[in-house]
Structures are given as C-alpha cells and as structure tokens.
Structure 1
Amino acid sequence: MKAIGDQRAAAGPATPDHQARMRYAWRVCSVTSLGLILIGVAGSTLNVALPSVVRHFHASAMESGWILLSFLLVNTASLVFFGRVADLVGRREVYLTGLALFTAASLLAGLAPDVWFLVGMRVVQAVGAAMVLANGTVILTDAFPPERLSQGMGVYIGTLSVAQLAGPTLGGLIAETAGWQWIFWVNVPAGLAALTWGAMTLRRMPRGPRRPVDALGNALLFAALSALLLALSEAGSAGLSSPAVIGGAAVFVVLVPVTVLVERRAASPVLDLRLLGGRLLTCANLASFCNALARSALILIAALYFQAVRGLDAFDAGLSVLPLPVGMALASPAAGLLGRRVSSYALSVGGALLSAAGLGVLMLAIDPAAPYWIIGLGLLVAGCGSGAFMTGNTTEVMRAVPQSSLGVVNGLRMMIMNVGIVISVGLSLSVLTSSVDEHLRAQVSAGTLSALSPVAVGQLTQGFGRTYAVLLAVALAGLALAALARAPKEPR
C-alpha cells in the first residue's frame, strides 16, 4: 500500500501544465501507435499470404524465404544507424521520412514484375520501418511523465498486438479475394493517414549529441547477419554440407570477432556493448532477444501449419492463428495498467513464463487430428505472455537509462530484439523445411503440401514438432534471463 501511495504522490497534482502534457502525450501515443500498426499489419498480412505470393512468382524455397528475410535483415542492421541520424537531423524529421518511404515502397511492391524486384522493395520498406521503429519509442518516452510511462507503453505495444490481430485475417481475405498485390497496396492509404497526423501532431525535439556515424561498424554488422541468414536459409533447403551453408557460417564466425574489435575502437560504435553495463540492462536485453526469437515466427509457422498440414486456405488459416495476436492485444494494455501497481520486473518474468507455457502446448498439439481448441489455447497463452513481457521489459529498460542516453540505448535495444526476429524466421524455416524431401520443400512455403503426399505431411508434422521444441528451449532461456534482470536493492 505504501508503494501505491508513493506512486500516486510521485504523479503530482493534476495542474493545468500536467494536464496539457498528458493531452499531448496521448496524441503522440496515437502517432507512434499508427506507425507501429502500419508496420505490424504489413508483416502479419504477408506472413499469412506468403503462399499466394510464392505461387504467383513460382518462387523457390530460397526466394520465398528472402521475401521475408530481406526486410528483417535490413531493418535490423539499420536501427542504430537511424537512431544516430536522428540525433543529427531530428527525431520528428526522421520518423516522418520513414513513414513516407515505407508508404512509397508499399505502392511499388504491389507493381513488382518479378520476385527479386519485390525483394528490393522489401529492402526499401525495411529502411523506412527502421526510421520509424528507431525513434517511435524515444518520442513516446520523451512525451510521457515517468510515472505514466507504463500506461503509454502498454497502449503503444498493444497496438502492435492489434496490428497482428487484424493482419492474419486481413492478409488471408485479401489473398483469397483481391490478389496478393493488395497485401502491399493496403498500406498506402494507412501510411498517408499516419504521415499526415504525425506532421500535424509531433513537435520538434531537442537534438541529441552529435556523434559520428559508424559506417564500418554498420557494414560489418550487415555482412555478418547476411552471412548468418544465408547459412540458416540454405541449411533447410540444401543441407548442412552445402557450400553456401559452410561458407556463410565461416564468414559469420570470422566477422564476429572482427566486428567486436572494430567496435571497441570506434569513437561512436553502432554496437556499443558498454551501454549494457550492469546486470539489469544486460539480462533484460538478452531476455528480449530470446523472447523475440521464440515469438516472431509463430504466426508464420502456425499459418503454414494450417495450410500445408491441415489444407486450409489463406483466409481460414488467418482466422485460425488469431488467438496469438488476441492474447497480445489483451495482455499489453492490461500489463500497462498493472504497471502502476506491479513492478515491470514482475510483468517481464510472468510474461516470459506464459510464453514458454504456450509454446509447450503447441509442441504437444501438432497431430493433424488434435482438436483446434488445444492449438488455439497454446497460441492464446503464448500471445498473452509476449504482450505482458514486451510491456514490462521495454518499460524496465527505458526507466533504467538516463534521458540523454534514451535514443542510443533504444536503438541498441531494438537492434538486439530484431536480431532475434531475424534469426527466428530463418531458423524456424530451416528446421521446418529440413524435415521433408528436397524436391518437396518449395511446397511448404506454397502451402500445397497437404494435397500431394500423406507421407510428406507426416514428415512435415514432425518438423513442426521440432520447430516448436527449439522455440520452447529459447523461451525457457529467456525466462531465466528475465528472472536475472532484477534491479539491485538500494541501501536503506
């Protein structure tokens, strides 16, 4: 009770200045939430509609993987870079430019004449998304008073859940009725609306300290992640003995120590691990990495399961995966409200525990004869866990750093989380496709395997079980790290 009273006292009286700040803070929250919805819907619709795109272009397993991975790779490698650029030219300006770039690339993606032009437009989308994601959380954190930040963060992260809630159904419906092009074109009016409202609402923010851009560090990071993704994507389709797998893994192993050495000497490193000083920031960010790795491929994997194993069309598959984003949509704002009474540490640990429990249920319910309600329960529990974890973890990290370091630390936080997202998709697809014969692997991404061979469906079902087992192991590691991220007690 004393803690609750202290929090209320810290909020201070509802003065006119405080009320004006809160009105502006909630308008900022609406702007940043629109940006998150735009990017979240774009990703979740494509996850469900990917088989339609693959069938249209007759894409190979590698090409279909890179439709997803190209976006994740470039987005991850660009996050800290655009956090630094925003220090030079302004967060408002970079954020709005990112919205414009993402919208324009979405228009051109729908006009793609071949699969590699589409991949190119996904790269441009990724640059725009990095501009938005690298600055949205910082803009929101700056707008809210510290004692109300968990509420704003809960709504902000909850909008990503809403995007993932609408995305699968929308993606399936569009793919079955209007055609795959509209998966991208639907972003255009939404992007223009977000850009207009952002330009009207956001105020200019003080620019951060002018630091040199670490071009060499960015290049090394991009090359290392590219090599890792090449090895992961080819391992599932070509086998571990493939020259691409061996070469990609070798390049990654060589570049990691080189990157660490270069970054230690850089004046303003893109990967400044010194910012993670202390157990709380180190463990909290590593827990975020594990949660992203365990969470991010779930909608894609579940949608492929319903199409490739159970023979559903894209629309029905989209409906079937809805419990996952529903759980996130319910848990994120609820965790934000609880954040005034429950510590962000408790929310983070509790969310990580629920995420692992949901994956455990999914791993046990892969049999095609298993009733849907068990799968739906697993998806719902995993979604609730991820929503609570992300709200608690983000608040925990952002409260632990001084105001002057918010931009750089947030960029590093997002990059670490996005590396988990990148590896999640690449690793999950690799483990999954390795379970079937080589000549059938393209049918997995196309969602047509269920109509070809009962034997292959059995192999693929085992592949889903192995995939969920790998993700569960990662989620348990994330739970342990979240538990270790407790702030040290202050001396009395």
Structure 2
Amino acid sequence: MVAVTPGADSRLRYAWRVCSVTSLGLVLIGIAGSTLNVALPVVVRHFHAGPLESGWILLSFLLVNTASLVFFGRVADLLGRREVYLAGFALFTVASLLAGLSPNVWFLVAMRVLQALGASMILANGTVIITDAFPPERLSQGMGVYIGTLSVAQLLGPTLGGLIAEAAGWQWIFWVNVPAGLVALGWGAAVLRRTPRRPKEPVDALGNVLLFAALSAALLALSETGSRGLASPVVLAGAGAFLVLVPLVALAERRSANPVLDLRLFGGRLLAYANLASFCNALARSALILVVALYFQAARGYDAFTAGLSVLPLPVGIGLASPVAGVLGRRLSPYAVSVGGAAMSTAGLGTLMLTADPATPYWVIGLGLFVAGCGSGTFLTGNTTQVMRALPSGSLGVVNGFRVMIMNVGIVLSVGLSLSVLTSSVGPELRAQVYAATLSRLSPVAVDHLMDGFQRTYAVLFAVALAGAVLAALARSRPTAVQPGAPAGRASTSR
C-alpha cells in the first residue's frame, strides 16, 4: 500500500476541484448542443428556415469550433491556459444571450459562430488542465469523471430541449446557458491557479489562417455532398480549395519556427491509430441523438419533449460507463478499455441498424442506444487517457487541440453525413418537412421512404464504428517507444 503524503493529498484535493471546473465546461457545451439537436424543428418552424439554413444552424457551430481548436490550444500554451479557458466561458455566455435575441436565422447562425469560438477555448484546454492537475496514477479516474459529465449534459439536454421548446419558447434553449455560464466563470476564476507561461514565441499566424481555410473548405464540401451531389459547384469549390491549401499548409508548417501543427508529434503508432479511432467513434456516435430525435418526431409524430425523453438511454449509458471505465483504468490498460468500448459501441449501432422500423418496440431501440452509450463512454475514457499519457508535456495544449479537432471533424461529418443520407430518401421537396418534423402528417408512403433513409444512416454509422474498433485494436504502442520530445515520465506505452 502506497503512503499518501500531505503534499500528495493536497494535490489530489486541488485536482478534484479542477475536475469540477472542467466538468462544468463540458456540461455547458454538451447541454447547448444536445438541447438544440432535439429542439431544432421548433427553431426551424419559427424562422421558416429552409433545408440549407436548417443544416447550418448546427454545422456553423461545429465547423468553426473544429477549425479553431488547434489555434486556441497554441494560444493557451503561450498565454496561459487559465486565462484562455475563462475567456471561453465569458464569450460563450455572451453569445448565448445574443442568440436568444436573434431577429432572423442568419443572425442566429452568426451567434452560433461566436459560441463556437468560446467553446474552442474551453475544449482545447479542459483535458490539458486535468492532465496537469492529476497525479499520473489517478489520471484515469479524473478522466472518467470528466468524460462522464458529458453524459450528464446529454442526459439533461434532450429533456431540457424538448421541455423548454414546448413550454418556454425557442429563445430559452440559448438563454438557459447564461446563468450556467456565469456560475462556471466564477467557479473557474476562484479555483484555477495561474500556470507558468512558456517564453513568448511568435504565433504561427500564416499556419493558423491556412489551416482554418483548409478545414473550412473540406468540411463545407463533405457536409454538402449528400444533399447537393458531387457535381455541385459548392462541393467542387470546397474540394478544390482543400486540395490547393493542403500543400500550402505543409510548406508553411515546415518553414515555421513555432508551427501551429507540428506533424512530428503525430507520427507515432499510438497517436496515429488512437486519433483515427477517436475520429471514427465521434463520426459514429455524434449524430445519434439528432437522428433518433428526428425519427421519433418526423416518423412517429412525437412532440419535442417526448422525443427528448426517448433518446435518454444513450447519455445514461455514457454516464454509467465513463466513471466505471475510469476505475477499471487503475487495473486495466487504457488500451484494453478503449478497445472494449469501441466494440460495445459497434454492437449498439448494429442493433439500431437491424431494427429500423416504425413498428419496432421502444425497448429494442432503447437497448441499442444504451449499449452504444456504454460503449462510447468506455471508449472515450480509455482513449483519452491513452493519448494524454503519451503526449510530451511541453506541447499538451496544441496536441490536445489537434486531438479534439480530430474528434470534432468526426462530429461535423457525423451531422452533415447523417442528415444527407437520411433526407436523400425523400427527395428535395420533402426535406424541409423532415427538419420541421412534420413529415408524419403528410402520408404513410413518405414515412416509409424516410425509414429507408434511417436504415441506411444506421448502416453507415455501424460501418464507421466497426472501422473505429479495428483502429483502436491497432493502437497498441511498443513498450520502448517514446514520442518526440517526451520526457521519461511520459513514455508512450500501453501499460
């Protein structure tokens, strides 16, 4: 039994207070996303939004959030994580207030962009702050609680979203973030300690601009492919811009003394496969609440509140599995936890794929969602711990920003791809009815066509989850491998 010194005990108490701060950040962002996933039809009906505007209410946030994560990871490395983290809370809170005052749909999209910038400051630094605060032997427990709070957000979000949309109006979907954001800002300012700043180095401005532009072009093209087709001018322009920008990014990063994206840090076997597995898990998982909520509203005719209650098995599964996986992480390697979670997530999506039918009993759908949730919670805890243990401490901010960016690319594509596959089954003239959740009132034939879309969507997500499980299994590092620049205490081992 290892003796606990007063200093170690004090560090652990501080670490758990830090965990409460970062967990509040994750809850705030998670609730903001999951409430809108369920309440989107209410917002669409209020603004009489078409399919393009409807999709970009969601995608604008995800696109900007994804493309700015690496930038804010680098800024936090240079200016201080505490300062950037708290600034993120402030910006997110103000943007949420203004979003509820939106006079039209495009002003709402603009406020979602500001929310995304605040969320980037929070997400790029939350995992790093926890990694710095916890002793290495307790990191898996802290990470399990941190990841588990995402399920709290996803648990509260759908119910709150449906209830608020039906009872208080769509504006409160955004305004509910304001008091929560103020509480998180105050608690964070009180708890988080200032961290030593690295010596002032020039920010890679050119690299940031080129990376942002390349990601924006790629995500725009990929998210619009399903609904507009490969020959669409928007898709072709986005793909062409991406192909031109990629070599420019590589050239700029090779010449920069402080590259925003140091590719040498991502060349190891563990980081390469673990990040790809994380991408696949995010792609397979992230649109599930949105897709299932649309299923219950558009195909079964449920109201937003009932649909919100119906998707709860997914976040319940994440919430139960994440802390359990954190405890298991003290006995099992993060690698084993990650692989087991990826396999469970695949099994849950397989259940949904095989039972996509309006006549399917709810308990079957609930079981598939619960298993998928348990798998995702387990995977996220194991995968995050595995990656963060392998990172060189001097580049935690930028590399974690890259890690979260990879996941967010999966989230963006999950939403864009799922909506494209789903709505392609009913034709362009009925897509607006799907987003507004009024399709079930039109005709049984249209609903039958939509069910084909649900089945194809689940099949795509299942295939991606299966690929993620294979990649997670390949993310076993060699015991002697050390990532470039890593100190001896952060050897890249699977333990």
Report if TM-score (shorter chain) is over 0.5: yes
Amino acid at match of 2:273: C
Q: Provide the residue aligned with 2:471 in structure 1.
A: 481
Cα deviation, 1:452-471, whole Å, max 9, x if unaligned, reads: 12221111111111111111
Once residues 226 and 142 of structure 1 are traced to their aligned partners in structure 2, the CA distance between those partners, rounded to angstroms, is: 31
Structure 2 contact 261–398 (Cα < 8 Å) conserved? no
Give TM-score scaled by structure 1 length. Answer: 0.95
Counterpart mapping for 1:37-186 below 5 A: 37-186=27-176
Percent sequence identity is: 78
Q: Provide the residue aligned with 1:269 in structure 2.
A: 259
Give TM-score scaled by structure 2 length. Answer: 0.94
Aligned with 1:188 (options 174, 178, 189): 178
Tell me, yes or no, if structure 1 residue 360 matches structure 2 residue 380. Answer: no
Amino acid at match of 1:350: G
Gaps of 5+ in 2: 482-495
Amino acid at match of 1:48: V
Cα deviation, 1:57-101, whole Å, max 9, x if unaligned, reads: 011111111111111111111111111111222110110010000
How far did residue 428 of structure 1 move?
1.0
Aligned with 1:471 (options 461, 476, 492): 461
Q: Provide the residue aligned with 2:404 in structure 1.
A: 414
How far did residue 287 of structure 1 move?
0.6
Q: Provide the residue aligned with 2:336 in structure 1.
A: 346
Once residues 293 and 55 of structure 1 are traced to their aligned partners in structure 2, the CA distance between those partners, rounded to angstroms, is: 28
Amino acid at match of 2:163: L
Once residues 270 and 226 of structure 2 are traced to their aligned partners in structure 1, the CA distance between those partners, rounded to angstroms, is: 36
How far did residue 490 of structure 1 move?
4.7
Q: Provide the residue aligned with 1:446 in structure 2.
A: 436
Structure 1 contact 84–211 (Cα < 8 Å) conserved? no
* Aligned-partner SS, 1:466: helix
Amino acid at match of 2:436: A
Q: Provide the residue aligned with 2:237 in structure 1.
A: 247
Tell me, yes or no, if structure 1 residue 301 matches structure 2 residue 325. Answer: no
Structure 1 contact 47–168 (Cα < 8 Å) conserved? yes
Counterpart mapping for 1:9-28 below 5 A: 12-28=2-18
How far did residue 216 of structure 1 move?
2.5
Amino acid at match of 1:227: A
Summarize the Cα distance change of 1:417–1:368 in structure 2 as closer, same or farther, 3 Å threshold.
same
How far did residue 225 of structure 1 move?
2.8
Amino acid at match of 2:315: P
Once residues 431 and 300 of structure 1 are traced to their aligned partners in structure 2, the CA distance between those partners, rounded to angstroms, is: 13
Q: Provide the residue aligned with 1:221 in structure 2.
A: 211
Structure 1 range deviating more: 163-172 or 402-411: 402-411
Once residues 326 and 369 of structure 1 are traced to their aligned partners in structure 2, the CA distance between those partners, rounded to angstroms, is: 24
How far did residue 207 of structure 1 move?
1.6
Cα deviation, 1:134-183, whole Å, max 9, x if unaligned, reads: 11111111111000000000000100111011100110000110011000
Structure 1 contact 237–441 (Cα < 8 Å) conserved? no
Structure 2 contact 297–304 (Cα < 8 Å) conserved? yes
Gaps of 5+ in 1: 1-7
Cα deviation, 1:269-292, whole Å, max 9, x if unaligned, reads: 333321112111111111111111
Once residues 25 and 197 of structure 1 are traced to their aligned partners in structure 2, the CA distance between those partners, rounded to angstroms, is: 14
Once residues 450 and 352 of structure 1 are traced to their aligned partners in structure 2, the CA distance between those partners, rounded to angstroms, is: 34
Count, aligned residues: 481
Q: Provide the residue aligned with 2:489 in structure 1.
A: none
How far did residue 209 of structure 1 move?
4.8
How far did residue 429 of structure 1 move?
1.0
Amino acid at match of 1:170: L
Counterpart mapping for 1:288-327 below 5 A: 288-327=278-317
How far did residue 201 of structure 1 move?
0.6
Structure 1 range deviating more: 186-195 or 248-257: 248-257
Tell me, yes or no, if structure 1 residue 405 matches structure 2 residue 395. Answer: yes
Amino acid at match of 1:204: R
* Aligned-partner SS, 2:32: helix
Once residues 352 and 283 of structure 1 are traced to their aligned partners in structure 2, the CA distance between those partners, rounded to angstroms, is: 13
Summarize the Cα distance change of 1:484–1:209 in structure 2 as closer, same or farther, 3 Å threshold.
farther
Q: Provide the residue aligned with 1:375 in structure 2.
A: 365
How far did residue 229 of structure 1 move?
3.3
* Aligned-partner SS, 2:198: coil
Structure 1 range deviating more: 219-228 or 99-108: 219-228
Tell me, yes or no, if structure 1 residue 256 matches structure 2 residue 242. Answer: no
Amino acid at match of 1:80: V
Root-mean-square deviation over aligned CA pairs: 1.5
**Structure 1 runs of 4+ with >4 Å offset:** none
Aligned with 2:202 (options 212, 217, 230): 212
Q: Provide the residue aligned with 2:420 in structure 1.
A: 430
Once residues 278 and 239 of structure 1 are traced to their aligned partners in structure 2, the CA distance between those partners, rounded to angstroms, is: 36
How far did residue 263 of structure 1 move?
2.9
